Chains A and B, each alone.
Chain A
Amino acid sequence: MPIPEERPIRLPAPAPPDRRRFLTVLSQAFLALWGLGAAAVVGAYLKAPEKRDAERTVNAGLLADYRVGEGRLVRHGITPFYVVRLDATRVLALSAVCTHVRCILGYDPARRTLVCPCHDGRFDLSGNVLSGPPSRPLPGYPVSVRAGEIFVQV
């Protein structure tokens, strides 16, 4: 039986070691970008948000900016509210959403009442219904004044 001629196996010439090592390192760095990306996403996600209670506490401005008897509407998502300064130190916050059909209330500083433009419902500053169709009193929000700034907890 004839012995098949052994043909020498020809491998492609290896690249010079420096370039090969450079390419290898480059490729490894490229692949490492995946790890970096994952770390960035996961890190941003895991950074615990301090918003938990902070989101519910709204800064309503400086106390000094409010005149005595002034009431200002603060728009805050679905819970807008009025901040009313009663005297030098006392401030209160009431919901600005009428308990009838959820119109946004207006403030009457002369009478110190909140008036609904839709059906003329009126509330006093304690939230009691003075007249008109609303059947439920207006909820209030706790207010604290810290370092001259008004914070309302909605």
Chain B
Amino acid sequence: MNGPGRQDPPARQGWVDWLEQRVNLSEIFSFLTHFGLVYTPVDTRKPVREVLHDVAAEPVPRYAHGARALGLLAAILFGLQIVTGVLLAYYYRPTPEAAFESTRTIVRDLPGGWFIHQMHAWGSWLLVAVIVLRLLRLFWEGLYRAPREVLWWCAVAMTWVVIQSDFTGRLLTWDSHTYWGTVRGLEVVWAIPIAGPVLAFLLGGRTVNEDVLIRFYVLHLMVLPVFYAGFLYLTFATLRRVGLSRPEAARDQGTIHYREHVYSMTMLTVGLFAVLVTLATLLPFRFHAAADPYATPGGVRPPWYMLAPYALLQHLPVPAWLSGLGLLAAAIAVLLLPLWLRGDDTPGRRRRLRLAGVAVLAVWLALSVLGALLERR
């Protein structure tokens, strides 16, 4: 690089080579590719320096822009949630007596505790929004069509896991509003036939007591993140097979080297972090009071993503089991979308499908608003 004969100081190169002779560093690096940091596969037979060089020079479509960044954002937010979540878990205690107190100690007494707590709270909100938007985007662009069905299934599964994480995470503060919101949410879950009771059985039953809290704690910290990581892995395995995006789109937007993509991702991370910090500072989540199982505060609603089923189940003049069955059917239809929405990808058909999607979304939003307003009474 700088001329013949001149070599980099041996000390710097030394320890990498020393390790290289003892363990396959490329294989360790390839572990990262599975979970999406580098989405292309890596030849683990080459030494790690060569592997890094190849990866950096890999041509990729411009992926960290616009709507395509949603998947990246979901992954980044997940990482952020893990970091802040682990920090919170250092001081949080999952018993009804100590949950609220320990959370309040974190926020009030520990230096930086309020920051980490608000980042985690807003992070979860953004994660849910990003994951849902990603699903909507996949539908809009028709990216569930063959051979990308698995991508759609993973997206639906990840949406489900993230919503469950949000639901389980809410209860952990044992705040009076979130406690009763969880109770309302569980009512919705119970009302769905077949799947509901099974889910409620896994979640721990009808009354929200200390066993349910521990169960939610375990789900939130261990089970659901593992599932999420699993689906993330599957997503990238699919992408390695079917490609990051449609070939024609890649040609339109040009390719860049992976090295530039890394910088774009870093900028995205920094921007996201800044947005989260702003939200955490300007709009912090407030505390109410410790949950009292015998006193319900007024105006408690189930979490916002459950408002539509709540309105459907509780307030529409349809018997509960029927609307529950309808919801179940709708959920299964969404999951199996790629299988029944086959056909040519003509512009006319695409427009019709998009219109149908917008209509369904509008109905969902209307039901959510209805659910929100009804509780204000």
Contacts and interface: CB of A to CB of B under 8 A. Distances in A.
Contact of A51 (B90, B109, B116): B109
A9 interface: no
Interface string B99-120: 0000000000111110110000
A44 B111 contact: yes
Nearest to B83: A42
A46 B90 contact: yes
A49 interface: yes
Contacts of B90: 46
B194 interface: no
A45 B109 contact: no
Nearest to A51: B109
B87 interface: yes
Interface in A11-44: 34, 41-42, 44
Nearest to A34: B270
A77 to B, nearest CB: 13
A47 B113 CA distance: 11
Interface range for B: 10 to 19
B109 A49 contact: yes
Nearest to B270: A34
B112 A49 contact: no
A47 B111 CA distance: 9
Interface in A104-134: none
B159 to A, nearest CB: 29
A32 to B, nearest CB: 13
B275 to A, nearest CB: 15
Interface string A46-81: 110101000000000000000000000000000000
Contacts of B112: 41-42, 44-45
Nearest to A42: B87
Contacts of A44: 111-112
A47 B109 CA distance: 12
B110 A49 contact: yes
Interface of A: 34, 41-42, 44-47, 49, 51
20 contacts: A34-B270, A41-B112, A41-B115, A41-B116, A42-B87, A42-B112, A44-B111, A44-B112, A45-B87, A45-B110, A45-B111, A45-B112, A45-B113, A45-B116, A46-B87, A46-B90, A47-B111, A49-B109, A49-B110, A51-B109
Interface of B: 87, 90, 109-113, 115-116, 270
